[in-house]
Amino acid sequence: MHELAITQSLVELALDEAERAGAATIIGVRATVGHMCGIVPESMLIYFAELTRGTMAEGATLHLEVVRTVARCSACLKVFEPECVPWLCPDCAGRRLAILQGEELRLESIEVDFDNGGGNDGADGSETDPQG
């Protein structure tokens, strides 16, 4: 159920960034979610549609990229994708692992329309990067 709180934060951040950029409408939102976050993407899509109703993001598309977990064994430095618990290095059976990816939860970009024409015809939409 943590998808609701995460999606709500994502929507709030997207709305804040779009308003700061002077946008009239949000057309799309791109986010990266690590597999280890335990997010159910389908739930986020449903919550996104509900949470954006009545806002400048109503009707926007949420694009989620789910990132697989990648770890590195601290003993032999093998890089691999852990599959089943307990996570062990496939080469040396080491248990001390550094997670290299899979914990991400990040708003990547927001596609906006400055004319309030709505829709995504490619002519009016531009992307804003909330990270800089």
pLDDT value at 30 more than 90? yes
Average pLDDT of 15-36? 95
Cβ neighbours, 10 Å, residue 127: 12
pLDDT given at position 84: 80
pTM: 0.75
Q: Which residues contact 71 (CB under 8 A, 6 or more apart)?
A: 79, 80, 81, 82, 87, 97, 98, 99, 100, 102
Structural domains of the chain, with CATH? 2-67+103-125 (3.30.2320.50)
More confident residue, 117 or 29: 29
Give the model confidence (pLDDT) of 97-124 as tens digits: 999 999 999 999 999 999 865 444 443 4
CB distance 26 to 111 below 8 Å: yes
pLDDT given at position 1: 58
